[in-house]
Structures are given as C-alpha cells and as structure tokens.
Homo-oligomer: A and B are copies of this chain.
Amino acid sequence: MIDAFDSFIQKLEPQLRTWRRELHQQPELGFLEYQTTYKVAKELEELGFTIHVGKEAVQSDSRYGVPLEHEIQEAERQALENGVPEDWIDAMQGSHTGVVAKWDTGREGPHLAFRFDIDALPILESNEPEHKPHTDHFRSTQNGIMHACGHDGHTTIGLGLAHLIAHFQSQLTGTFTLLFQPAEEGGRGAKAMVDKGWLEGVDQFYSGHIGINSLPVGTIAASTEGFLASAKWNVTFSGQSSHAGMKPEDGRNALLAAATTATQLHAIPRHSEGISRVNVGKLVAGNGRNIIADSGYLEIETRGQTKAINEFMQKEAKRIIQSSASMYDVKVDIEFVGETEKMTCDRALIPLIQEQCQQSAWVNHIDPVAYVSGSEDASFMMNAVQANGGKATYMLFGTHLPSNHHSPAFDFEEEVIPVALAAYAHVLRGGSS
C-alpha cells in the first residue's frame, strides 16, 4: 500500500503544480477568499465529500477583523465576474469564506482532521528576474496581493489529500475532516471554525507549514515548538483638523499621536522570561499637506512566548497608546481584531509520524521537533482538540527559501508539495488504522 500512495502522488504531481500556480496567480486576502473557496469546494464536492460553506463553516460573530463593507462588495463583484456562481456567492455572502469537507468511510475508526489555510497577504509581488513566479509567468495577477507565506501550497496539499482519500476510499477507515480555513494571517479565522464545533470529536489533528525554517526538500518535522501567543489590534486616533499655516495651535494632531505610538511601542522592554514581539505594520494618518491631521490609524500586533508575556506586551502597548493619545489631546479607540494562542504539540504523535512517514519514498529525514517562531491560529484548533482528549500536532515540510516569509520575493520549491502530501497520506493511513 505504501507503493500505492507514493505512486499515486507521483502521478498527481503535474496537477499539484498546476493547482499551486493557479492559486498563486489569484491570491485573495483574509475573509475575501471567495474564488479560492469556490475552487476548493467545487473540486471536493465532485470527489464526493460532504461540503459545508458560508455560515455552516464559520461562526459569524467569532470572526476577527472582518473587512470593510466596500472591500467585501468589491470581492464579491470580482468573484462573480470571474465565474463564481451567484448562489455560491450568496452562501458565502458577507465574508463567510472557507470550506469544511467531511468524508465518512462508513467503517469504524478514528476521526482525523487536517487543516489548510488559504489566504494571501497585502504585498506587491516581486518582478525581479530571480523571482521564479515572475519568470515562469505565474506571478500574482492581483496588484498588491500575494501568496507570500505559502498558503497556495497548503491549499494545493489539501486538494491532493482530498483526491487521495477519494481514490483510496475503500481501503480507509474512520472519518476525515478537511478544514480549508480563511484568514489565518492576523489570527482571524480559526476561532470561527472552532466555535462552529468542527473540532468536536476529533481524535487526531494535523496541520503544518511549508518552509519557515529553510531545510532541504524531503526533510519534515513531526512537531514544532516556539509558536507564540499573539494579539492583534486596530487603533484609531481622532483629533481636530486645522489650517497648518494659519491656525496650527487649534489642531489636535492625530498623525503625531500615531507616529509617537509607533516609535514608542517598539521600545517596550524585552522580557526576560522569553520571546516577545511587537509590530506596527500599518500606519495611515492625515488628509492633506496643509491640514493638521485629524485622523490616525494603526495596525499592531504583540506576541509572547507564553500567554503571560503576551499579556505583558498588551498591557504595555495599551498604556503607550493611551498616553500617546493624551499627549496630543486626541481620542483613541482600540479595537481587538485577532489573536492566536500558545500551542503545544502532543509528543505522543511523534513516534507515530516517524513510523509512518519513514515508509514513504518521498520523505528522507524526519526531525522529531522543529524550533520556530511566529504565530499560528491553528493553535485554537489544537487547543480545542486537546481540551476534548484528542491529540494534535503542527508539522513542518522542508524547502529552501530564497527570501523570508512575508517578503515580496518569497517563494518555495514546488517539490515540497508532494512530500507534504505523502507525509499526511501516510499519517492518515497510520492514524486511521
């Protein structure tokens, strides 16, 4: 049967590459993945999966950072224009993107869940000659939006796994849930699937990431340590505009409040008990050159190796934001828009993964643990599974990285896709046997 899995994947490889490149060309931001959701759901429906989209898939009020109304409408308009049927758009209406697909073998066995994140990032993709998606003509067609974190690869792996399940259905036992999650960036989408109950009764949960650490293709890690708890906020300062030449003293400068917040937030003390992070990723303030700015907007994020450290960061950040507002006599609104939790992979899954994956010809080397940083809202799913007695892990799939995640020249070796698919496939066989 090993041979069968490996060789099925080998035959699927050209299709995997095609899927990945199609997805790469049509990236969509978090909670705006109308076209990606349709593409995935349609494919899985045809394979025989039971499909759940829209408010069946995600809990409406558990979503963080839902886009603005006009952004949603524009995305729905474009989806329609690009061939997504109207009834599908109706189902997803108002940013209810993402798919949950279930397969019940009808035979007794454990319930395994696999999670794939599908959203892209607001980055203008590189058009440098050394950037392969550019030279091989599958660069993003969406100006300023890019799959710069590899979720196009993740979605492709999920499509491959679905085909494999359908193909080998007669030999499998138990139940499989495939979660194609929206809005992972910013920690905004996972909780909405958790709160809909999709992780209840799951015995084993698997997710993972392409890259992160730059490793040779063929190397995988059975678990990870180091993902950080995180919190995401939008901050809006409201001041008073005035003519900058004629009445500067009548202005209450929201731009300076925002700028001061940015520099001072980055100066929050490092924490001695572990990793901490803070970032102001976006700042938009003011209207015109000769007007004292009456508005300032920030998108910020804190992280901590532990929940306590992240709480320290949040406490410091809040005080700095409020003090910056009072410094310039402006009002401030702090909106909580996303979070991830600390995650702990179950060590019990490591030998199981090692045993299964070493039987695959696609996998050369298995690290028991990879040390990473960053944050992942798969943490919500893992914590939900573990709270109910299930086991969960978050894996890594090696590829060399020409450039950092979230940078305009990010790319990965496409050979990692069949490797990751093989790993999940063998895990699936082992887990469900």
Task: Determine if B279 and A241 form an interchain contact, defined as CB atoms under 8 angstroms apart.
Answer: no
Contact with B along A47-58 (1 / 0, CB 8 A): 000000000000
Task: Determine if A248 and B279 form an interchain contact, defined as CB atoms under 8 angstroms apart.
Answer: yes
Q: Quick check: which of A133-141, A161-169, A173-181, A281-289 contacts chain B, the rest being far away? A: A281-289
Task: Determine if A240 and B407 form an interchain contact, defined as CB atoms under 8 angstroms apart.
Answer: yes
A324 to B406, CA, bound (A): 24
A165 to B205, CA, bound (A): 63
Which residues of A, 143-165, contact B by the 8 Å Cβ criterion?
144, 149
Task: Determine if A319 and B312 form an interchain contact, defined as CB atoms under 8 angstroms apart.
Answer: no
A383 to B371, CA, bound (A): 28
Q: Which residue of B lies closest to A266 (CB)?
A: B267
A374 at the interface (CB under 8 A from B): yes
Task: Determine if B291 and A244 form an interchain contact, defined as CB atoms under 8 angstroms apart.
Answer: no
A245 to B280, CA, bound (A): 12
Q: What are 23 A-B residue pairs whose CB atoms fall within 8 Å in the complex?
A: A121-B287, A122-B291, A185-B288, A245-B301, A245-B303, A245-B373, A245-B375, A246-B272, A247-B272, A248-B270, A249-B271, A249-B272, A258-B283, A259-B280, A264-B327, A266-B269, A279-B291, A280-B293, A281-B291, A284-B285, A289-B299, A319-B329, A323-B327
Contact A404:B267 (CB < 8 A) given known A277-B245, A290-B186, A301-B289: no
A249 to B228, CA, bound (A): 17
Which residues of chain B are near A296, meaning CB under 8 Å?
283
A374 to B245, CA, bound (A): 4
Copies of chain A in the complex: 4
Task: Determine if B243 and A374 form an interchain contact, defined as CB atoms under 8 angstroms apart.
Answer: yes
A75 at the interface (CB under 8 A from B): no
Which residues of A, 301-338, contact B by the 8 Å Cβ criterion?
301, 303, 312, 319-320, 322-324, 326-327, 329
Which residues of chain B are near A284, meaning CB under 8 Å?
283-285
Which residues of chain B are near A319, meaning CB under 8 Å?
326-327, 329
Q: Which residue of B lies closest to A244 (CB)?
A: B279
Q: Which residue of B lies closest to A123 (CB)?
A: B287
Q: Which range contains the number of A residues in contact with the other chain?
A: 35 or more
A276 to B277, CA, bound (A): 12
A263 at the interface (CB under 8 A from B): yes
Contact with B along A223-243 (1 / 0, CB 8 A): 000001010100000001111
Q: Which residue of B lies closest to A263 (CB)?
A: B259
Which residues of chain B are near A281, meaning CB under 8 Å?
244, 255, 286-293
A372 at the interface (CB under 8 A from B): yes
A405 at the interface (CB under 8 A from B): yes
A214 to B350, CA, bound (A): 35
A410 CB, min distance to chain B CBs, angstroms: 9
A254 CB, min distance to chain B CBs, angstroms: 10
Which residues of chain B are near A276, meaning CB under 8 Å?
270
The 7 closest A-B pairs by CB, nearest first: A323-B327, A266-B267, A244-B279, A259-B259, A282-B286, A281-B289, A248-B269
Which residues of chain B are near A290, meaning CB under 8 Å?
185-186, 232, 279, 281, 301, 375, 406
Q: Which residue of B lies closest to A232 (CB)?
A: B289
A385 CB, min distance to chain B CBs, angstroms: 23
Contact with B along A347-366 (1 / 0, CB 8 A): 00000000000000000000
